[in-house]
Amino acid sequence: MHRGLQAEIKRIALITLLLLVAGFMLNNVLLTLLVGGGIYMLWTFSHIARLYDWLDQGANGLPPDASGVWGDMTDHLYRMQQRNDRAKQSRRQLSERVRNITSALADGIMTLSPDRVLEWWNPAAESLLGLEKTDRGQSIINVVRDPRFVAFIQHRNLPLPVELSSPEDPSKTLMFTAAEFGDGNIILVVQDITRLRNLEQMRQDFVANISHELRTPLTVLSGYIETLQDNSDGLPTGWQKALMQMDQQTDRLNALANDLVMLSQLESNRKPPPRTQVQLTPLLEQVVKDGCMVASEKYHIFSDCHENLELRGEYKELYSAFSNLVFNAIKHNPAGVEIRVACRSTDSEIIVEVCDNGYGIDPKHIPRLTERFYRVDHSRASSTGGTGLGLAIVKHVMMRHGGTLEIQSTLGKGSCFRCHLPKPIAIA
Ligand code: ADP
């Protein structure tokens, strides 16, 4: 039993004993017991009243003096109150700290309710989006009205980040990222990526300019080399070999400059390709024909596209993507391989695949193949004359056409490069 309760029982027992003795001495036990009991109850009520007073004042300060069970209870309450105060204090400090951290951030942070209503934001969000106090409780789509943002924030699965011009300053580019927390609430992060995009633009412009500028001197060089080769009869044999190597290397440089120009055009062109009709069968037949022209007759290249399929997009870009895949299958495989260029359609897609039964690629390289200048075997790749940009070009063409590139390969068995493109919607 609790110590306070034991003391109280002892106290009641002692008082009762004293009252009984006094009752016998006064010859009226009942009256003495009643009077004594009444005084004990008054004393108890006075403790209860002081405890209520203390609780009514928010249990601030020291608790009222009490003994026995009341002393024990007040002590308990006092300790609980102190624990509560300490917890409140540390919660307050934590929320103060979080507020300080979020205020120091350059990125804007907002919390939204599950129905996309603004609940809280930090100062950076205020300056990036021009939020005002009155916006609390407003739907975020009343603040950022761009249709791309509206589609992004209303999407059930919160898709990949979206980039938009700032509603406050159109020269700024903002990136919005959203994640779900708690019970469907949303944390929305907005970053000013203007500098990053400017640097990216500078990089793209630099690559585009330098590769463009390289073309003129290369044309002049190629012209002179060709003229010298045409009149090389009188030249010593050592010079003929040198001329041949110069010719090969200028061809490589030309190919590199052309691929760089193509890639930077694809990258910098933010507009989707024109949605002109492209008949797939003749396009792939042309790709196969051009492949056969560059390959020796030992390569068996054939088209397996008999359906009358049609794509929407840019013929030149699609030709470049599919021919890159065919030239790769020729370049990176030994003579004698079979290269099949096929097409088919599903309910929603048109699939073009270029498959070979050549060397194949180790699976560890596959995720990185579409990176610029990524090559599986450097020594072999440089001897094949590849620029290392072919698959990057294919990937970009696919992206611009709303499609994807899938790569499947088994070492020693061959590779399949599959282009998944959206099927044009039939107009009734
Ligand atoms: P490259 O100019 O070297 O062909 P790509 O980006 O087109 O650059 O290809 C990247 C690498 O992928 C190549 O260097 C080659 O190692 C590998 N590769 C591409 N296609 C094939 C293929 N059909 N068979 C084997 N390896 C391939």
| pLDDT by position in tens, the chain (length 428) | 677 788 888 888 999 999 999 999 999 989 999 999 899 899 888 888 888 888 888 777 788 887 777 778 888 888 888 898 899 999 999 999 988 999 999 999 999 999 999 999 999 999 999 899 899 999 999 989 899 999 999 887 777 899 999 888 889 999 999 999 988 899 999 999 999 999 988 988 898 899 889 988 999 999 999 998 888 887 787 888 888 899 999 999 999 999 998 998 888 877 778 889 999 999 999 999 999 998 888 899 999 988 889 999 999 999 999 999 999 999 999 999 999 999 999 999 999 999 999 999 999 999 999 999 998 875 555 566 688 999 999 999 999 999 999 999 999 999 999 999 998 876 54
CATH class of the structural domain 196-268:
mainly alpha
Q: 401 CA to middle of ligand 1, Å? A: 22
Cβ pair 192, 128 in contact under 8 A: yes
Instruction: Name the residue with the closest Cα to ligand 1, atom 26.
Output: 332
CATH hierarchy code of domain 276-422: 3.30.565.10
Q: 390 CA to middle of ligand 1, Å? A: 7
Q: 273 CA to middle of ligand 1, Å? A: 26
Q: Which residues line ligand 1 (CB under 6 A)?
A: 328-329, 331-333, 356, 358-359, 361, 369, 374-377, 381, 386-392, 415
Q: How far apart, in whole angstroms, are the C-alpha atoms of residue 400 and residue 421?
A: 10
Dihedral of the CA atoms 288, 293, 298, 304 (nearest 10)? 10
Topology annotation, domain 105-192: Beta-Lactamase (3.30.450)
Cβ pair 74, 66 in contact under 8 A: yes
Instruction: Name the residue with the closest Cα to ligand 1, atom 23.
Output: 329
Instruction: Name the residue with the closest Cα to ligand 1, atom 7.
Output: 390
Q: 367 CA to middle of ligand 1, Å? A: 13
Quote the tokens at residue 264.
């930077």
Q: 375 CA to middle of ligand 1, Å? A: 6
Which residue has 């008949």 as its token pair? 279
Cβ pair 175, 190 in contact under 8 A: yes
Q: 323 CA to middle of ligand 1, Å? A: 13
To test the pocket of ligand 1, the residue of 332, 337, 413 to mutate (highest count of ligand atoms within 8 Å of its CB) is 332
Q: How far apart, in whole angstroms, are the C-alpha atoms of residue 208 and residue 211?
A: 5
Q: How far apart, in whole angstroms, are the C-alpha atoms of residue 351 and residue 341?
A: 11
Which of 177, 171, 168 is closest to 128 using CA atoms?
A: 168
Q: 388 CA to middle of ligand 1, Å? A: 7
| Domain locations in the chain as residue ranges | 3-99, 105-192, 196-268, 276-422
Q: Residue 79: how many CB atoms within 10 A of its CB?
A: 11
To test the pocket of ligand 1, the residue of 369, 373, 380 to mutate (highest count of ligand atoms within 8 Å of its CB) is 369
Partner residues linked to 353 by β-bridges: 342, 418
